[in-house]
């Protein structure tokens, strides 16, 4: 009876060991990030230019290469569905508040960035998107070899 129990324990331990080794070999560690294994960087978010280009291509219903208030509202609504709201600093006046609707943000952006006040061109949309992004912390400060304030 002791021998049978000992064999079962050895068998269970062997199976666990090999399944763990196989998982590591395939890069499927339990604690690995969703974008891959150790040492890999997470995928970078699209630049404001890439995002503006994609939004105009997908949401410009009338084909005039600019987004009017309705088209921009649809674009912002789609963006909000695809990603959770970014963390924003309260002191950053360029960002929209979390409670602001897509329609309110569209009107605000057109008033602020559109030269003709009727719709955003690629360059104007890119500028609006850049102003709404949270600050990047990856550049580092003086301690991390990054630029010092005022440079």
Q: What is the pLDDT of residues 69-115, one digit of tens each?
A: 999 999 999 888 876 555 444 434 444 555 689 999 999 999 999 99
Do the domain assignments include residue 113? yes
Buried b (16+ CB within 10 A) or exposed e, 75-90: bbbebeeeeeeeebee
| Closest to 79 (Cα-Cα) out of 63, 107, 101, 111 | 101
Q: pTM value? A: 0.57
Domain that holds residue 116: 48-84+99-132
Task: Kindly state the percentage of the chain with pLDDT values over 90.
Answer: 38
Do the domain assignments include residue 4? no
| pLDDT (average), residues 39-56 | 86
**What is the per-residue pLDDT for 84?**
56
**What is the per-residue pLDDT for 20?**
59
Do the domain assignments include residue 52? yes
Gap between the Cα atoms of 61 and 37, Å rounded: 41
**What is the per-residue pLDDT for 92?**
41
Alpha helices in 67-121 (DSSP H): 69-82, 102-113
Contact between 94 and 113 under an 8 Å Cβ cutoff? The reply is no
| Closest to 30 (Cα-Cα) out of 40, 45, 39, 20 | 20
> At 107, which CATH number?
1.10.238.10
* Total number of domains constituting the chain: 1
DSSP state of 28: -
Higher pLDDT, 15 or 138: 15
Q: Tell whether the model's pLDDT for residue 146 goes beyond 60.
A: no
């Amino acid at each position: 009876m002791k021998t049978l129990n000992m064999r079962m324990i050895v068998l269970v331990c062997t199976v666990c060991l090999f399944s763990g080794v196989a998982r590591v070999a395939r890069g499927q560690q339990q604690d690995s990030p969703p974008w891959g294994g150790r040492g890999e960087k997470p995928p970078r978010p699209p630049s404001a230019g890439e995002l503006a280009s994609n939004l105009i291509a997908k949401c410009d219903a009338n084909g005039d290469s600019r987004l009017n208030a309705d088209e921009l509202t649809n674009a912002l609504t789609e963006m909000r569905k695809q990603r959770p709201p970014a963390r924003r600093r309260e002191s950053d006046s360029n960002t929209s508040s979390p409670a602001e609707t897509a329609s309110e943000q569209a009107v605000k952006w057109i008033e602020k960035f559109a030269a003709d006040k009727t719709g955003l061109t690629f360059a104007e949309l890119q500028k609006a998107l850049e102003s709404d992004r949270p600050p990047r912390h990856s550049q580092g400060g003086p301690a991390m070899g990054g630029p010092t304030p005022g440079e």
